[in-house]
Amino acid sequence: MRAIALPAPAPVDRRPLREVDLPDPDPAPNEIVLAVTACAVCRTDLQLCEGDVPARALPIVLGHQAVGSVVRVAEGVSGWSIGDRAGVGWLGWVDGTCRFCRSGHENLCPSARFTGWDRNGGFADQIAVTADFAFRLPDGVPDLQAAPLLCGGIIGYRSLRVAGTQRGDRLGLYGFGASARQALQVGRSWGCEVYVTTRSERDRGRALELGAAWAGPYDERPPVALDAAVTFAPSGDVVVAALRALRPGGTVAINAIHLDRIPEFPYELLWEERSLRSVANYTRGDGRAFLRLAQDIPVRSDVDVFPLTESGVNDALAALSAGVVAGAAVLVADG
């Protein structure tokens, strides 16, 4: 099969991903194999490409928001049949026996394996996935729309929960990429007033079109004290800006696998029982709950389409790095 692999981390302007020919994946026990039709591109893919997130396996096929149809099923796997439509996300496997798995926190499993980090991902013609970690996708949601739900949507939903977001809250979103756009739609469905902070004037306009109560740049504070906030930009300065806008007792959830640093800030910003919490991965329960919600709302993404080719993948990562992706970058397979 054709795959677009990362031999070694390098800046995206060097166009480091290369097309390779790999054997079609045979499903290991408990696995299914999908023919990929679409795969969304995540900022984590960019961070893995450039080495901000250290590689765990090289060469590696990136991509952890893949949609496709089942083409092979391992013997003994139940619940999946040839031709079924399925999605593959970031969480690829957990041991199921550690203290975190047993307590409902499989996202923290120390043995967890992740798609496009520990095992080959969706920048390829086919992808193998542990059957219990594949998602059934909402009916009526086309592949282009389904792909961005599988990481940006799910992790954005978990971030809202980690921040303690309640119906009717004043919610702050810091950064306005694909994940934040989906989180805004969830927040609005819960009756929240949503306040968006982003450096991009274009994105501020888009936030208002999607129903934000206010949108401003990072150097402006929202006009109200926030009950909860989520930071999507991988910048510690943005985390401090969100904390500064928070009411007493509120929480800032940091939606990032990599953060540049958190600068020193006065204790008064954290005092009065404000909280900072990181968001690590997601659980399968998060995924199933969000996908149901995404169908009901419905959550929709603006999509920038790129071909699932060597050139297309490198172009998509470069566009993401340059901040010129208008919505979610999605790779589409030929034919």
Domain assignment present for residue 288? The answer is no
CATH number at residue 234: 3.40.50.720
Copy the structure tokens of residue 214. 């206010």
Transcribe 216-247 into DSSP letters.
Answer: E-TTS--SS-EEEEEE-SS-HHHHHHHHHTEE
Domain that holds residue 79: 2-138+298-332
pLDDT at 140: 87
> Would the pLDDT of 335 be above 80?
no
Give the mean pLDDT of the chain: 96
**Beta strand spans in 41-156 (E):** 60-61, 66-73, 85-88, 91-93, 113-114, 126-130, 134-135
Q: Report the C-alpha gap between 171 and 152 in whole angstroms.
A: 18
Q: What is the pLDDT of residues 10-54, one digit of tens each?
A: 999 999 999 999 999 999 999 999 999 999 999 999 999 999 999
pLDDT at 193: 98
Q: Report the C-alpha gap between 94 and 133 in whole angstroms.
A: 9
Q: Could you tell me which of 157, 179, 183, 180 has the C-alpha nearest to residue 290?
A: 157
Q: What is the pLDDT of residues 304-324, one digit of tens each?
A: 999 999 999 999 999 999 989
Domain count across the chain = 2
Q: Report the C-alpha gap between 259 and 30 in whole angstroms.
A: 35
Same-domain status, 229 and 103: no
Q: What is the pLDDT of residues 81-123, one digit of tens each?
A: 999 999 999 999 999 999 999 999 999 999 999 999 999 999 9
Same-domain status, 88 and 159: no
Q: What is the pLDDT of residues 244-295, one digit of tens each?
A: 999 999 999 999 999 989 999 999 999 999 999 999 999 999 999 999 999 9
pLDDT at 249: 98
- In the chain, the percentage of residues whose pLDDT exceeds 90 is 97
Type of residue at 208? L
Same-domain status, 134 and 158: no
Q: What is the pLDDT of residues 149-180, one digit of tens each?
A: 999 999 999 999 999 999 999 999 999 999 99
